[in-house]
Amino acid sequence: MNIDQNTKRNIAAALWLDEYNEKEIDANVLTQINSIKNSSSEIGKRMRDYLAWLSDHPQSHNPNYTKRYKLLHSLIGDLNPQAAYVIAMKLLGQNATQGYELMPTQANFKFPQDHAPQLQSQVGWHFFVGSGWDENGDEYGIELMFFRVSLLPPSIAKNFGISDIENQVVEIQLGISKAGERHYQAEPTVIAGTTGLIDVTANPLEYTIGKNYIKSLKKGSLFPITVRAQGNDNGEAKAVKLGVDLEFTQGREYLFQGDDGCMPCVAGMGTLYYSIPNLVLKPGSTITYNGRKITLRKGSFWFDHQWGFLGGNSRSAVLRAANNIGKPMQMGWDWYMAQFIGNRQLTMFASHSPTNKNFYFQTGATPPGTMTVDVAGKYMDENKKLHNTWGTLEIDQWVKSEVSPNPKLYPITNTWHPNHWKFTFDETLPEDIRSFELHQIVPVAQTNYFANGSQYNEGAVYITNAYGEDMGRGFAEAVQYADCTNNMIKLAGFENTKELMKLFSQEATLPRKISSFCYIVTHQKELKEILSTAKGLEFFNKPSKTSVKNTSRH
């Protein structure tokens, strides 16, 4: 069976091969790679049939996607997994949340099984970040993420004879920075479950993509756990090899984000999200940076697992109507974790806002000015208690994204990204960490690209007070500062036309806004009931001083 070059490159990367060579691939895996299920013709056919299903299942108080789906249907022929991933993730519109597992009314995590990928949800990721020090005292910022997307709603996949794991596309995000020097990102590796290269077991957790894995070493427990991955930054004439081979012997405690893990949970939408801070790195763990294997003697690391929906329509008509009459959503967010001296941890989150739209998508010669945003935090104190806290963030320095792990696939955007952060929080935090600053450990941007074409800034940071005194280490993430729409369309295999762009920028029309307003007026009771049972919404809205409610728990 003919396999396109893009898919061959990704399979080779997942298997740590310099090039695709069938003689070096396990016979059982090769059978699946060459199966009809994994063929680009079948992937394309399944996506066209899914578009027909979406056309047959419109939602009220929603844009009319008939023209979009008709055009996409006419454009889609054979699809490789990366193109299918871009279409499923970026181009299908708000009602493509139908058919996926709904978020519960409360998290109620069940471990160890919830450590595994939740394959019936739309998206999810496992995320390890932190700072490591080698035997010479040199410092490195390290990120490894397995980012998973279900191409089709599970019931539709089942109708095609596609299992939950075959329905997945998983990409590997791997980045390493050396303090004072520069940041490298391995070109994203994108693998479809139909290749047979993705495998998952829940207890003990074992999550593999080719030769890359996240693996618990003890049944019934996440720890000890090993993570291993490898890739190449292909942004320069000569590829730069990167890799991680890390073992974590334990973590501190579960840090349930949002409202006990709902971030948020509203009428079946949102995400479930927990973290484990202060991972203990086993000395002797290694990284590969710029082709050189480096042994680490200590580290400050963090684990995240999150799954659900990153956006899209609610199944509730009244919530869809409410979304139409409000201000248009500004996609993107900023996320931070801080591990302070004294074994105290804090995660912080700020949604992008239309009021700050002049700070996004900036590519001019001069950086933006100072951006001020409200930020919410989840704080774990020295006694392992969790507290909600709110504060203010100032971003007063910016850095341009001027590199790419493969400029042919992911063009350099030259977009300004945040580079220095000043936080001030309420009295929930102890006075010594109520105000602090974050500084990137390198003088250049730590920008990365997803295989769906989007770009983000993510990297290790120093935590200091206003006088520059060390307070700990953290990680800073800035998502959706660069406009990568043109490249997303290209990665999907389409030509960027005015017709296509118009169909991807549909906003609520005045008649739809009026209709939605009338619907809300006549369904007030239903709206109030939904909002009264929602969990985690307060994390996205800074309360007034008189209504601040501190929550803590073991």
Task: Find the mean pLDDT for residues 461-466.
Answer: 97
Task: Find the mean pLDDT for residues 346-367.
Answer: 95
Q: What is the model's pLDDT at position 509?
A: 82
Distance (Å, whole) CA 8 – CA 259: 43
Distance (Å, whole) CA 144 – CA 464: 25
Phi and psi torsions of 174, nearest 5°: -135, 120
224-238, 505-519, 531-545: lowest mean pLDDT where?
531-545
Distance (Å, whole) CA 414 – CA 213: 33
Distance (Å, whole) CA 282 – CA 223: 12
Displacement of CA 452 from its chain's centroid (Å): 11
Is 107 buried (19+), middle (13-18) or exposed (0-12) by CB count in 10 A? Answer: buried
Q: What is the pLDDT of residues 430-454, one digit of tens each?
A: 999 999 999 999 999 999 999 999 9
Displacement of CA 475 from its chain's centroid (Å): 14
Q: What is the pLDDT of residues 468-494, one digit of tens each?
A: 999 999 999 999 999 999 999 999 999
pLDDT band at 553 (very low <50, low <70, confident <90, very high): very low
Closest CA to 433 of 400, 403, 457, 466: 466
pLDDT score of 194 more than 80: yes
The pair of structure tokens assigned to 134 is 């080698």
Cis omega (within 30 of 0) for bond into 224: yes
Determine how many CB atoms are found less than 10 A away from the CB of residue 289. Answer: 22
- Look over the chain and give the mean of its residue pLDDT values, rounded to a whole number: 94
Q: What is the model's pLDDT at position 326?
A: 74
Task: Find the mean pLDDT for residues 330-347.
Answer: 95
pLDDT score of 508 more than 90: no
Task: Find the mean pLDDT for residues 267-277.
Answer: 97
Q: What is the model's pLDDT at position 214?
A: 98
pLDDT band at 549 (very low <50, low <70, confident <90, very high): very low
DSSP state letter for 64? -
Q: Are 381 and 340 in contact (CB under 8 A)?
A: no
Q: What is the model's pLDDT at position 554?
A: 32
Determine how many CB atoms are found less than 10 A away from the CB of residue 221. Answer: 16
Cis omega (within 30 of 0) for bond into 204: yes
Q: What is the model's pLDDT at position 486?
A: 92
pLDDT score of 321 more than 70: yes
Q: What is the pLDDT of residues 385-415, one digit of tens each?
A: 999 999 999 999 999 999 999 999 999 999 9
Tell me the whole-structure pTM to 2 decimals. Answer: 0.96
Distance (Å, whole) CA 496 – CA 441: 38
Give the amino acid at 147: F
> Which residues, 6 or more positions from 282, have their beta carbon under 8 angstroms from its beta carbon?
224, 246, 247, 248, 249
Q: What is the pLDDT of residues 74-102, one digit of tens each?
A: 999 999 999 999 999 999 999 999 999 99
Q: What is the model's pLDDT at position 548?
A: 40
pLDDT band at 545 (very low <50, low <70, confident <90, very high): low
The DSSP line for 299-319 is EEEEEEEEEE-SS---S-HHH
Closest CA to 267 of 322, 304, 306, 305: 322
Angle between helices 317-325 and 510-521 (to 10 degrees): 130
Q: Are 549 and 543 in contact (CB under 8 A)?
A: yes
- Which one is predicted more confidently, 2 or 206? 206
Is 101 buried (19+), middle (13-18) or exposed (0-12) by CB count in 10 A? Answer: middle
pLDDT score of 503 more than 90: no
Strand-pairing partners, residue 150, are 168
118-127, 252-261, 482-491, 541-550: lowest mean pLDDT where?
541-550
What burial letters (b/e) apply to 401-429, b meaning 16+ CB within 10 Å? Answer: bebbbbeebbbbbebbbbbbbbbebbebb
pLDDT band at 551 (very low <50, low <70, confident <90, very high): very low
The pair of structure tokens assigned to 426 is 């309420």
CA-CA distances (angstroms) from residue 368 to 189, 398, 435? Answer: 33, 7, 23
Q: What is the model's pLDDT at position 325?
A: 85
Distance (Å, whole) CA 146 – CA 327: 33
pLDDT band at 63 (very low <50, low <70, confident <90, very high): confident
Q: What is the pLDDT of residues 200-249, one digit of tens each?
A: 999 999 999 999 999 999 999 999 999 999 999 999 999 999 999 999 99
